[in-house]
Structures are given as C-alpha cells and as structure tokens.
C-alpha cells in the first residue's frame, strides 16, 4: 500500500495570530492553541483513525509543534526531527508581511526568499528530504510542524516548485493529508479544521 502523509500544523501562538514570521523563535502556544491541539488529538483518536496504530510520528523540536504533539496525545510516540523546523527567516524573523512590504512593496516569500536566512533552494531540499522519508516504506506517517515548511512539503510531494505553496493556505491546528490518486501524488485533504468547530 502506498503511504498516506498526515500533516498537523501547530496550534495558535501570539505571533501566528498577529501574522509575524515565526521561524526559529520558540514562541509558546496560546490557550486557544492548547485547546485546538487537544481537539485535534481527540479527532485523531476517534474512528476512523483510532489513535493511528502503527503510524510513524515525527515532530519539529520547536516548542509550539512539540507541545501540540504532546497535547494531541502523541508525545510519547513522536521522534523530534530538526528537518521539520520552520523556515529560517533571517532578517525577517518576527516581522509581518506588511512590515516587510513597507520596504519591498512587491515582496513574496515564495519567489523572493529572505535576507540572511534559508534560501528557497535550501527549504526545498529540506522538504524533499521529508517527502523521501514519508515515501520510504509502506506505512502511514504523521508530522507536527509549521505553516511554511508544511506548505513546502505539499508542493514537493506533488512534484511542484516551491512557488506553488503560495496558493495553499494553512491555518493553525489544521490537519492535512497527502496521498495518491491514479498512482500519482495527490492532496486528499487540506487545511481541515473541522475538529475546531465541532
């Protein structure tokens, strides 16, 4: 059986709420983010997923992703993996897109990158490493990580340039599923937040 790839974005933080680029800064979850992580966990433990028995689970080591994983009930099964860390935004760490565009009106991270941080090629290579791992065996996998790296993973899963990630939003505490259709990589579900409104 070809593997499915489940992607969980971390819960809401003060910086994600305000739109600040949160790369390697270890920002804690807000109470809303902790609540969302628990609701995500309840969903993953109900039928049809039933706690994901036998699934390999990895998490970004950054606190917001790791805590989301723990609150969802998978902390004891998850392996921290530096490759899942968020984009290193360099000089743009902690800035909102509007603040950046005050100096660079046409700036788009997916096209222009960031000064002093990871290049587009470096982020793409990390995403490729994660995709290769996810496809490496006949078992499903789940990762807890961050908005931009998860969007990058989706683009590369589909065999597309990183620029495709500009076209797919991803909310905090969302669940997405990458899989296969007619033997080709496909999106099964994206940015699913139904557990937050149940």
DSSP characters over the chain? -PPPEEEEEPPPBHHHHHT---SSS-PPBPHHHHHHHHHHHHHHHSTTTTT-TT-EEEE-SSHHHHHHHHHTT-TTTEEE-GGGSPP--GGGTT--HHHHHTT-TT--HHHH--TTS--HHHHHHHHHHHHHHHTSSSS-EEEEE-HHHHHHHHHHHTT--GGGGGG----TT-EEEEEEETTEEEEEEEEE-GGGT-
Orientation of helix 147-157 relative to helix 120-134, angle to 10° = 70
Residues annotated as catalytic (active site), given as ranges: 10, 86
- Flag whether 23 is marked binding: yes
Q: What is the mean pLDDT of residues 126-138?
A: 93
Q: What is the pTM of this model?
A: 0.95
pLDDT tens profile 76-119: 999 999 999 999 999 999 999 999 999 999 999 999 999 999 99
Any binding-site annotation on 64? yes
Task: Tell me whether residue 22 is annotated as binding.
Answer: yes
pLDDT for residue 43: 95
pLDDT of 2 above 80: no
Bridge-based pairing of strands 56-59 and 184-192 is: unpaired
User: Measuring CA to CA, which residue among 170, 177, 174 is closest to residue 196?
Assistant: 174
**What is the reported pLDDT for 54?**
86
Residue from 31, 44, 47 nearest 75 by CA: 44
Q: In the prediction, which pLDDT does 3 show?
A: 81
Give the pLDDT score at 139.
87
pLDDT tens across 22-80, in order?
999 999 999 999 999 999 999 999 998 888 888 999 999 999 999 999 999 999 999 99
Q: What pLDDT does residue 189 have? A: 96
CATH of domain 5-196: 3.40.50.1240
């Amino acid at each position: 059986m070809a593997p499915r790839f489940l992607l969980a974005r971390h819960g809401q933080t003060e910086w994600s709420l305000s739109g600040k680029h949160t790369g390697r800064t270890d920002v804690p979850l807000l109470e809303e983010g902790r609540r969302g992580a628990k609701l995500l966990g309840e969903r993953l433990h109900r039928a049809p997923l039933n706690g994901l028995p036998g699934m390999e689970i990895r998490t970004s080591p950054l606190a917001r992703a790791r805590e989301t994983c723990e609150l969802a009930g998978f902390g004891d099964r998850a392996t921290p993996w530096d490759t899942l860390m968020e984009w290193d935004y360099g000089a743009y760490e902690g800035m909102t897109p509007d603040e950046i565009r005050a100096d660079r009106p046409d700036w788009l991270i997916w096209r222009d990158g960031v000064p002093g941080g990871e290049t587009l090629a470096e982020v793409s290579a990390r995403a490729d490493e994660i995709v290769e791992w996810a496809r490496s065996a006949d078992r499903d996998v789940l990762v807890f990580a961050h908005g931009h790296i998860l969007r990058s993973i989706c683009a590369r899963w589909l065999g597309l340039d990183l620029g495709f990630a500009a076209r797919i939003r991803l909310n905090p505490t969302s669940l997405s599923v990458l899989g296969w259709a007619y033997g080709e990589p496909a999106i099964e579900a994206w940015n699913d937040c139904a557990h937050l409104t149940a």
